[in-house]
Amino acid sequence: MTPRAALLVLLMLLLHPISALAHALDPGYLELSAMGGDRWRVTWRMPDLGGRPMAITPELPTNCTADAPPEPHFDGRGWSTAYVATCPGGLAGGQIRIKGLENTRTDTLVRYETAPGKAVTQRLTSGAPDFTVPEDPGRLEVFTSYVSLGVTHILEGVDHLLFVLALLLLVRDPRRLLWAVTAFTLAHSITLAAATMGWLDLPSAPVEVVIALSIVFLAWELAKPAERRDQLAVRFPALVSFGFGLVHGLGFAGALREIGLPRGDIPMALLSFNIGVETGQLIFIGVVLTLGWIARRLLPHVLTASLWTNRVASYAIGSMAAFWMLERLYAF
């Protein structure tokens, strides 16, 4: 337990820059909504960089023409504009490129419809800033695309990762830890599916507040000596993890709704996104455990004050989570 708690100090130093750069590294977003015939409504959103739009520009297939887009407006987070493009013969076989993306550290989510209601999502990165629109996107393309989106979402979701990290630090027994992580997985899978399918609909603002509150709860427990911790959390960590996992699943669902689902392959896309989330979560757990193993060998004499290191860990996690909670409460 002590090595893992001390390890958090290192992890927080790594995570803090990620949090601080979150706004600068927000992804771009390009949406092409089929309007019927040969017309598409193009919605383009650029990340904010120092008060100006990031220098990235969408390039549509060569058969597409459009008037000069209106000047982008700032929406508090990014810069958006919209216009109509005419693409005789459709998008299939054409190349979509984000010019300038190769010079950035961000990515761009492209959601396009080959026909009204037939949407596909593609993620472009600095290393792969373009793609060719397939003639008929198959189930394999849907699967790989949404797995990638799920992995990206969980690894960029610092709040979700901090919850998992706090759980790793709090639960000592490997068997109970396994059950706790499994319960978290099962719970967020349930609410992710229910919310995405429209069976459960809650406003995003209170959901985000409770997600932050769940991290504060684990940080509070981590700060206490073992004998003073909440007995429910000590004896049944899987139950607590399951309860908070239900709320985290609603957060995942909110992100998935923003991405959109292909009308004809909703079950496949939902399953793929959830697999991606779990893959990202397992990657994170593997990194934490590996760093813990390294720390135990490099710092065997430093990792001795269990209560002190637990408190440092809990204050680091709790401070960030409390800030998020107040920020989200203010946004109500």
The residues pairing with 125 across neighbouring beta strands, listed in sequence order, are 128
DSSP secondary structure letter of residue 99: E
pLDDT of residue 307: 54
pLDDT of residue 18: 38
pLDDT at residue 164 above 70? yes
pLDDT tens digits, 256-279: 776 666 666 677 778 888 888 888
Q: What does the pLDDT average to over 30-57?
A: 90
Higher pLDDT, 212 or 14: 212
Note the pLDDT of residue 148: 83
Model confidence at 13: pLDDT above 80 = no
Give the pLDDT mean for 51-61.
Answer: 92
Answer whether residue 330 shows pLDDT above 90.
Answer: no
Alpha-carbon span 178 to 164, nearest angstrom:
12
User: Which has more pLDDT, 69 or 84?
Assistant: 84
Of residues 327 and 323, the one with the higher pLDDT is 323
Q: Which residues lie closer than 8 Å to 169 by C-beta, 6 or more apart?
A: 1, 4, 5, 8, 222, 310, 313
pLDDT at residue number 131: 92
DSSP 187-211: HHHHHHHHHHTTS----HHHHHHHH
Paired residues of 84 in beta bridges: 41
Buried b (16+ CB within 10 A) or exposed e, 285-319: beebeebbeebeeeeeeebeeeeebbbbbbebbbe
Place of tokens 């992100």: 255
The whole-angstrom separation of Cα 105 and Cα 26 is 10
Report how far apart the first and last C-alpha atoms of the chain are (Å, whole number): 38
Q: Give backbone dihedrals phi and psi of 268, rounded to 5 degrees, phi first.
A: -65, -45
Structure tokens at 172: 């000592």
The model's pLDDT over 133-149, given as tens digits with 9 standing for 90+, comes to 887 666 777 788 788 88
